[in-house]
A and B are shown apart, each in its own frame.
Chain A
């Protein structure tokens, strides 16, 4: 991913934190999967207005002992995979509601 990348949670999914994992259900396929701690942090921070680089620098690197470049590469990989499933929306411009959830509990 080159340039600024904005990510937002899709409004088509259901999601809830359970312990340190995020449960996600894709409707209407009824596909359930979970995100690990790092994936959950990125997912929770995906508000459509914060660039991915900023999410990695301020959320991932501050919570996990990881170099920025390594974390960004991993984050880009996770984002690409989640976008492929329709869980996240990705754009080079900020993404506004109502395309994305305004809030996710817990």
Chain B
């Protein structure tokens, strides 16, 4: 993050301004990715006029960074009407898409409308792997073709490479593809639960050994030595630290108008069909509860050596059952980076060890043999 963006974020926090909003325009999608956390049925998306009204409200509230995502944004027939309106309202617009519906015409329109950046999901450089994940034959070819169109228009494109069991071997190939296409590649080794709470998707997460390898890969992390250094434990400043921007300077709005602290933090905080966005942002008890939490308020994490350096996602912690609790996936990442288990992982280990001991209590053995 640049110094100026940090400065702006600090100012937004002080002024209570929602600097960044992700608005999912639809959950419908033309791909069926094996790791997707969404329900792709349309349960009553906001209409074009509802979205334009919301964009007016977001601009009035001071939102600057607007991410339009989904689902697949181009599944909406009114996508360019919405994008044009968003740009007329002077948002800095970022798009997240699988890009399979982007051809020359769409790429040129995105350039004309001054889109800041476009993030495209690429799972592998090999069609047989990428297409097996998206369950859409030909999808890699179409996404790459779209990237070329977008680049030829001078647009800033990022390839997002989500790592899972199916593609863990392929990130070097994706990085090489990114270099060939002249685009940045980001790697994300986190598969999240479905928004309805179903955690079965977590089985797709890469294992600890692979995670360790990713964190030590040259070029993937800014400074492997620094990020893999043993943690020193949270100091006073860290204990007063806010977990992340969710609910503080950022939030998420679903295609149905539901407001959440973040796309990965499914805590319903209000609906823009029933209330003004700014009233939800300022007065929602749920958002205010999220805002009140510092590291000091987290019983386990405040005592953990990783407390000051952990990438703990409060949304993942919430989906695990407690927004003040640890996010085990992030504990595993901290462990993979440093080799030092978190308080949470240690307590899970003791709980398992405890159960084994109970099984070996002589009295129970006697009862079993009797």
Closest beta carbon of chain A to B85's beta carbon, Å = 11
Closest beta carbon of chain B to A37's beta carbon, Å = 14
Which listed segment binds A: B7-15, B67-75, B162-170, B347-355?
B7-15
CB proximity to B under 8 Å, residues A28-74: 28-30, 32-34
Interface residue? B230 (CB, 8 A): no
Distance of A50 Cα from B339 Cα, bound (Å) = 64
Interface residue? B64 (CB, 8 A): yes
Closest beta carbon of chain A to B97's beta carbon, Å = 16
User: Which residue of B has the minimal Cβ distance to A10?
Assistant: B114
The interface centre, meaning the residue of B2, B88, B111 with most chain A CB atoms within 10 A of its CB, is B88
Size of the A side of the interface (Cβ < 8 Å), in residues, is 25
Whether B114 contacts A30 by the Cβ 8 Å rule is no
Which of these, B64, B89, B115, B156, contacts A23 with CB under 8 Å?
B64
Closest beta carbon of chain B to A18's beta carbon, Å = 6
> Could you mark each residue 78-95 of chain B with 1 if its beta carbon is under 8 Å from any beta carbon of chain A, else 0?
000000000111111100
Whether B62 contacts A18 by the Cβ 8 Å rule is yes
Distance of A34 Cα from B8 Cα, bound (Å) = 9
Which of these, A15, A19, A27, A103, contacts B115 with CB under 8 Å?
A27
Whether B88 contacts A28 by the Cβ 8 Å rule is no
Whether B156 contacts A14 by the Cβ 8 Å rule is no
Whether A16 contacts B15 by the Cβ 8 Å rule is no
Interface residue? B155 (CB, 8 A): yes
Which 4 A/B pairs are nearest by Cβ-Cβ distance? A105-B59, A14-B92, A27-B116, A16-B64
Whether B91 contacts A18 by the Cβ 8 Å rule is no
Which of these, B4, B87, B114, contacts A34 with CB under 8 Å?
B4
Which of these, A13, A32, A105, contacts B5 with CB under 8 Å?
A32
Q: Which positions in B face A, CB cutoff 8 Å?
A: 2, 4-5, 8, 11-12, 15, 17, 19, 56, 59-60, 62-64, 87-93, 111, 114-117, 154-156
User: Which residue of B has the minimal Cβ distance to A32?
Assistant: B4
Closest beta carbon of chain B to A27's beta carbon, Å = 4
Distance of A76 Cα from B155 Cα, bound (Å) = 31
Closest beta carbon of chain B to A48's beta carbon, Å = 15
User: Which residue of A has the minimal Cβ distance to B7?
Assistant: A34
Closest beta carbon of chain A to B53's beta carbon, Å = 13
Given contacts A16-B59, A16-B63, A105-B90, contact A28 B4 (CB under 8 A): no
Distance of A15 Cα from B154 Cα, bound (Å) = 21
Whether B91 contacts A14 by the Cβ 8 Å rule is yes
The interface centre, meaning the residue of B2, B15, B87, B117 with most chain A CB atoms within 10 A of its CB, is B87
In the assembled complex, which residues on chain A have CB atoms less than 8 Å from the CB atom of B92? 14, 25, 27
In the assembled complex, which residues on chain B have CB atoms less than 8 Å from the CB atom of A29? 156
In the assembled complex, which residues on chain B have CB atoms less than 8 Å from the CB atom of A18? 8, 11-12, 15, 17, 19, 62, 64
User: Which residue of B has the minimal Cβ distance to A14?
Assistant: B92
In the assembled complex, which residues on chain B have CB atoms less than 8 Å from the CB atom of A5? none
A-B contact pairs, 28 of them (CB 8 A): A12-B114, A13-B114, A14-B90, A14-B93, A14-B114, A14-B116, A16-B90, A16-B91, A18-B8, A18-B15, A23-B8, A23-B64, A27-B114, A27-B116, A27-B117, A28-B115, A28-B116, A28-B117, A29-B156, A30-B156, A32-B4, A32-B8, A33-B4, A101-B90, A102-B88, A105-B90, A106-B59, A106-B60
Distance of A105 Cα from B87 Cα, bound (Å) = 11
Interface residue? A17 (CB, 8 A): yes
In the assembled complex, which residues on chain B have CB atoms less than 8 Å from the CB atom of A106? 59-60, 62
Whether A30 contacts B117 by the Cβ 8 Å rule is yes
Closest beta carbon of chain B to A43's beta carbon, Å = 11
Whether B116 contacts A30 by the Cβ 8 Å rule is yes
In the assembled complex, which residues on chain B have CB atoms less than 8 Å from the CB atom of A28? 111, 115-117, 154-156
Closest beta carbon of chain B to A60's beta carbon, Å = 22
User: Which residue of B has the minimal Cβ distance to A102?
Assistant: B88
Distance of A28 Cα from B154 Cα, bound (Å) = 7
Distance of A105 Cα from B117 Cα, bound (Å) = 21
Given contacts A23-B64, A32-B2, A32-B5, contact A105 B89 (CB under 8 A): yes
